[in-house]
Amino acid sequence: MNGKALSFYINDKMFGLDIKLVKEISRRFEYSHVPDSNANIVGLMNLRGQVVTLFNLGSILGLTKDNEEKVSNTACIILKAHHNNPNHVGFLIDRPGDVLDIESEWCEKTPANVEEINTEMIREVVKLEDELLLILDSDKVFRF
Amino acid sequence: MIQNEEFINEFVEEAQSHLEMIEAGLLKMEEGSSDIDNINNIFRSIHSIKGTAGFFGLEKIVELAHVMENLLGEVRNGKIAPNSNMVDHLLTGNDQLKSMVGDVFNSNAEDVSEHVDIFSALLNQEAIPEKQTEKISDPMPGIDHQMFDLKDDEKLKRQIDEARKHGHNLYKVSIGINKDLGDQNLSPIKFFKKIQSVGEIVDSFIDISQVKGLDNVMQSDVIFTFVFTTVLERKLLPIALDIQEENFEVLETYEKETKTADTEEVIVSPDSAEEDEEADKDISSDHSENTTKPVETSAKKEPVATVEDSIRVHVTLLNDLLNLASEMVLGRNQLLRNIEDHRKEINGLDAILQNIDRITTELQEKIMQTRMQPVGNVFNKMPRVIRDLSKKLGKEVDLDIEGSHVELDKSIIESLSDPLTHLIRNAVDHGLETPNKRKSAGKPTPGKVMLKAYHEGGSVYIDIIDDGAGIDPERIRKKGLEKNVVTEEELKQMSEQDILQLLMKPGFSTAEKITDVSGRGVGMDVVKTNIEKLGGTIEIKTVLGEGTTFRMILPLTLAIIPSLIVEVENYKFALPQVNLQEMVRIKAGDESKKIEYVHNAQVLRLRGKLLPIVHLGEVLGLEHKETGLAISTSEITRILVLKVGSRRFGLVVDRIYDEEEILVKPLPVYFKSCQCYSGVTIMGDGKTAMILDPDGIINKASLRFTEEQTQQNQRDDLASEEEMRELQNILLFKCSGEETFAIDLSLVSRVEEILPSQVETIGNQEFIQHRGEALRVIRPENYLPVTKKDNSQADKLYVIIPKLVANPIGLIIEKIHDTVMTTIKLNKEDIKGKGLIGSTILNNRIVLLINIYELFEMVSPEDYEDSALKNQHHDLTILLAEDTPFFARLTKNYLEWAGYNVILKGNGKEALDVLYEKSVDLVLSDIQMPVMDGLELARQIRKNPDLAGLPLVALTSMTGEKDRKAGMEAGFDFYEFKLDKITILEVLQKAIRIRRDAV
């Protein structure tokens, strides 16, 4: 990708998302769990009258390892509604990171040996100076 | 020539509504309406289509609209009388226009010459002879105009003169459609309207001299020229119209200019019209707009500057508003909570908060209302459908429409058109018999189709009723097997309703042969799915030989529904009230009411029948069977009795909160696999809650209902007279005890507020002063089997003063809850007691209905023990037809008290059936009843020679002189007000005596 990406942390791992997809980051959020729903759904949240489905991105990505430790979610990221999907979605994060300028020459497809997480959900890997940023493919992540 | 898609869309929308109007108007005309307003409206609509289409160069539309307009013009002027044949052609023409408007971009490729020929011929038949020859030789519209032009010139002159007399100035404005209007993003129509708002247009035409061919329209410019009169000064004009000074000029006179303009164009059109360019034809058609417009305006002297009283708003904007309004309600609630402690400290805060409260609620309601539209919008299309069908099928059909004013959410209205059309088609095609068959069945030849919308229990019902042959379930069975829609095994399990529902399965069609009317691929299954998508259901009722009713039950709005908030394991849910029948509370250790076991399944004995019990927590996986048992042993079990269609079950929840009107939001796609939910809502505290779907819960809990159970339930429903429609006005109040009482307001003369000290005791009786007289008052709780407190602390009391009783006694009560308009469904399991009619549930409360006559009789038996009124021999039978359970029970009660045997029936039809079998001594009938009303009953009885001597007494709440007269004409001997017990008993005696004397 080329442009700005928002980075954030889930289970202490850094991920990124094209900032154009992000509607807002909410630090004060309340949600209600929905019984009998998909295990990846945390619950529903009321965002100024809009119902937002909140996901547990960690479990979708298969980051189950650290789950036993108590993970404190301090914020959630809400995505813009897609024009052909009126449902608002959001997900919990440990904490937001930065807004980063990304240039396309830093990007690469996911290396073949990444096993820890579901690779098809990673759009590309960005080689930042001192670490790697995994850019998520939101279409694949929130596909049900 | 098409400038801008947005403008075109505007035109299409406008034209479509005009076309609807034309169609409705034409149908009216065919029915023989010679209403000049009607014809004017049609004329105006078609004219306006032609006019705007001209702006966009939609020449074929213009061409067709023009000839239609000409014909209608002659009709309007009384030169041609409309006939059925002509209306036929006009309707076909209208249809053609519809399809061209619908596909506006390809409309110019349509061939309308056939229509044009027809209309020209129609016009010529009775047009003035000398023009006839001319016209037959060349029916081209272009030529017609010239003829019209000549006439118009005069009128034009007159119009201008007239305007000048009133101090108008004459202006000519030329506007480049691309250059000027394009910049302002203004459509020609809007500009047209703008001018009309300040003045009167006398002429307008288009100059396309700059345009060399079709291809370079966009590069060069089309100049619109308007000639109009207005009182505005030269200086003000640019401001008013938002145009440049150089765009307009002041005219002294207009004739010359027109002449030149006209001649120019007239010269152009005959020359080139035949030869080449389509663009040229365009001039001629556009030109017709110019010249006929003044005819209209001057002839009718319409006020031109009309004020628009409606605007178009996009639905998404309304949806956003709705969201915001409900958010505001939340904000209000939060504010109220936070400020609660300080309410007393700040002066006047209370009033302000209340005001905000009220306004917010009203705001939300109003926004909801913006989405409501009358169902008539869809119904109006049906006369046309019926008309075409009846012609095509050779069946005479009368269509009755009722309840056009009933409003539904816009989204529902929009999706209703197709299913409704299909059901109407179905009724005429399959439902109604051919005229011959009808004759031999002894029915009137014209078949009857009725379209009826009404409110019922929070839903809107739309009935499509035909009086045709009915549906033979046997045939459906056979057909179902033939088409492999159903197996023999399955059929055995099915109830009659289930079998009828087979009609709605894909691949099912009962017509022996598929006609081009109904069997066109769009089947009943599509109807069913469409209705279900709207959250509605469809039911079929049929009587062989008498007809079929398709009933659509639709939610009033998709957006707000009344619901009950319940809690399980600390989760809150909203349960739509539509499905809620009653609430049952079971105390541990209460042997009379307890949950029992059939193998592993829990059931509740409710009034002698077993009700399957489902634990909500269990269904949602919140508790397991083992722990579930533990919970059910807790103190109190709360069971909601729910009904889906004819299936009933009990749902166990932990807590029941209030009733709330909830704003329904669609279920996010991610929850589609959860069967138990139908939507989401945001509650008063800002948190989301799931809306429960009882149907889904049945599936999830895999409850299987057998045929017998559902049938049983259905029969129960009939028995409980669910069909009643009469609304009663009920006063809800409380005495010193806990119970809520109700009394029908029609029994109440007035309610007065008094102080406890005003009640005086004389002997062991209590009195108050009322209008200068002593009025005996009683405390109902002293006589009724209810709780009471001896030393009530109430600082004020109310007295209900009844009406229509011989010796009035006031009822002292402590608190007035409410008055409600409702239909009362009496509980079958009575809370029995002397002085009570029964109990019902209103606003989630058990309410006891007071029988005021019995109560008074208990209070002072001496006044009511009038033996003269009693039939001592107990040998007389009265047939009572009354649909409202409340009145039925009340009346039956005092008839029996008076010693009569009573047969009670819920409507005229049932009563009539009884009369054929049994002999009765008198018929006492309500007037307003479903199925067959009292008037019809009386007529039917009087028609039958065997019953001619039967005394008939009408018992009604409609006491107007007109009603009385209608009643007497129908054959009633007496016509009495419902609630006057003594008079009624007297009348009954009189009626029976008269009859005896006659015999």
Judged on CB neighbours under 10 Å (0-12, 13-18, 19+), B849 is buried
Give the residue with greater pLDDT, B938 vs B166: B938
> Could you give the angle at the alpha carbon of B320 between the alpha carbons of B315 and B324, nearest 5°?
145
Q: Which residues of A lie closer than 8 Å to B, measured between beta carbons?
A: 30-38, 41, 43-46, 48-51, 53, 85-89, 142, 144
| pLDDT over 70 percentage in chain A | 86
| Mean of pLDDT values over B694-711 | 69
Q: Using the predicted structure, report yes or no on whether residue B253 has a pLDDT greater than 90.
A: no
* Contacts of the segment B359-362: beta carbons below 8 A, 24+ positions apart: B360/B325, B360/B328, B360/B329, B360/B332, B361/B329
Residues of B in contact with A86 (CB under 8 A): 666
CA B946 to chain centre: 42
Q: Using the predicted structure, report yes or no on whether residue B789 has a pLDDT greater than 80.
A: no
Sign for the CA dihedral angle at B211, B213, B214, B219 comes to negative
Domain boundaries, chain B: 1-139, 165-286, 315-370, 374-555, 560-719, 728-863, 866-998
The CATH superfamily of B560-719 is CheA-289, Domain 4 (2.40.50.180)
Q: How many Å apart are CA B703 and CA B553, to the nearest integer? A: 24
Considering only A137-141, B162-166, B577-581, B917-921, which range has the smallest mean pLDDT?
B162-166
Q: Crossing angle for the helix pair B885-897 and B981-998, nearest 10 degrees?
A: 60
Return the pLDDT at B899. 80
**Among the four given CATH numbers 3.30.565.10, 3.10.450.50, 3.40.50.300, 3.30.390.30, the one describing domain B374-555:** 3.30.565.10
Q: For residue B705, name the pLDDT band (cuts at 50, 70, 90).
A: low
| Mean of pLDDT values over B695-700 | 84
Return the pLDDT at B519. 41
Q: Using the predicted structure, report yes or no on whether residue B271 has a pLDDT greater than 60.
A: no
Judged on CB neighbours under 10 Å (0-12, 13-18, 19+), B283 is buried
| Mean of pLDDT values over B109-113 | 81
Give the residue with greater pLDDT, B166 vs B388: B388
* Rg of the Cα atoms in chain A: 15
> Could you give the angle at the alpha carbon of B776 between the alpha carbons of B770 and B781, nearest 5°?
120
Helix (H) or strand (E) holding B934: helix B934-943
Strands B459-466 and B547-555: antiparallel
pLDDT 10s digits, B857-872: 777 776 665 556 666 6
The class that CATH gives domain B165-286 is alpha beta
Q: Using the predicted structure, report yes or no on whether residue B512 has a pLDDT greater than 60.
A: no
Smallest Cβ–Cβ distance between B323 and the set A37, A43, A50 belongs to A50
Structural domains of chain A sorted by starting position, each given as residue range(s) with its CATH number in brackets: 3-141 (2.40.50.180)
SS3 B705: coil
* Sheet of strand B677-682: strand arrangement: B655-663, B560-568, B571-576, B688-692, B677-682
Q: For residue A44, name the pLDDT band (cuts at 50, 70, 90).
A: very high
DSSP type of residue B577 = G
Q: Using the predicted structure, report yes or no on whether residue B968 has a pLDDT greater than 60.
A: yes
Q: Using the predicted structure, report yes or no on whether residue B438 has a pLDDT greater than 80.
A: yes
The tokens for B723 are 């069909």
Residues of B in contact with A31 (CB under 8 A): 688
Instruction: Using alpha carbons, select from B389, B400, B464, B465 the residue that is nearest to residue B429.
Output: B389
Q: For residue B127, name the pLDDT band (cuts at 50, 70, 90).
A: very low
In Å, how far is A140's CA from the nearest CA of chain B? 14
| pLDDT over 90 percentage in chain B | 2
| Mean of pLDDT values over B294-319 | 57
In Å, how far is B337's CA from the nearest CA of chain A? 18
Return the pLDDT at B995. 67
Interchain pair A32, B689: CB under 8 A = yes
> Across all residues in chain B, what is the average pLDDT?
73
| Mean of pLDDT values over B73-83 | 79
Q: Using the predicted structure, report yes or no on whether residue B799 has a pLDDT greater than 90.
A: no
B560-719 and B728-863 in the same fold: yes
| Chain A, chain B: beta-carbon pairs less than 8 Å apart | 68
pLDDT 10s digits, A57-69: 888 887 765 555 5
Helix (H) or strand (E) holding A1: none
pLDDT 10s digits, B444-456: 888 899 999 988 7
Q: Crossing angle for the helix pair B278-300 and B36-55, nearest 10 degrees?
A: 150
Return the pLDDT at B464. 92
Return the pLDDT at A137. 85
Residue of A nearest to B683 (CA): A46
Considering only A19-33, B139-153, B354-368, B669-683, which range has the smallest mean pLDDT?
B139-153
Q: For residue B63, name the pLDDT band (cuts at 50, 70, 90).
A: confident
Q: How many Å apart are CA B364 and CA B659, to the nearest integer? A: 18
| CATH hierarchy code of domain B1-139 | 1.20.120.160
Return the pLDDT at B574. 92
**Residue of A28, A33, A42, A46 to mutate for B, most B C-beta atoms under 10 A:** A46
Residues of A in contact with B571 (CB under 8 A): 32-33, 35
DSSP track, B162-202: HHHHTT-EEEEEEEEIIIIIHHHT--HHHHHHHHHHHEEEE
Instruction: Using alpha carbons, select from B250, B248, B224 the residue that is nearest to residue B170.
Output: B250
Considering only B90-99, B789-798, B813-822, which range has the smallest mean pLDDT?
B789-798
> Could you give the angle at the alpha carbon of B554 between the alpha carbons of B616 and B668, nearest 5°?
50
Interchain pair B688, A46: CB under 8 A = yes
Give the residue with greater pLDDT, A111 vs B697: B697
Instruction: Provide the residue count of chain B.
Output: 999
Q: How many Å apart are CA B193 and CA B321, to the nearest integer? A: 29
Strands B922-925 and B372-374: unpaired
| Mean of pLDDT values over B570-583 | 86
The CATH superfamily of B728-863 is CheA-289, Domain 4 (2.40.50.180)
| Mean of pLDDT values over B55-62 | 79
Smallest Cβ–Cβ distance between A35 and the set B620, B666, B688 belongs to B620
pLDDT 10s digits, B930-951: 778 888 888 888 887 777 778 8
Q: Using the predicted structure, report yes or no on whether residue B811 has a pLDDT greater than 70.
A: yes
The tokens for B366 are 């109003």
pLDDT 10s digits, B385-408: 888 888 888 888 888 999 888 888
Asked whether the beta carbons of B203 and B294 are under 8 A apart, the reply is yes
Q: For residue B657, name the pLDDT band (cuts at 50, 70, 90).
A: confident
Smallest Cβ–Cβ distance between B682 and the set A33, A46, A142 belongs to A46
Interchain pair B669, A51: CB under 8 A = no
- Say what the ipTM of the complex is: 0.87
How far lies A37's CA from each of A118, B675, B677, B681, in Å? Answer: 22, 10, 10, 16
Q: Using the predicted structure, report yes or no on whether residue B203 has a pLDDT greater than 50.
A: yes
Return the pLDDT at B566. 92
Residues of A in contact with B619 (CB under 8 A): 36
Residue of B nearest to A32 (CA): B688
Asked whether the beta carbons of B168 and B199 are under 8 A apart, the reply is yes
| CATH hierarchy code of domain B866-998 | 3.40.50.2300
Return the pLDDT at B979. 61
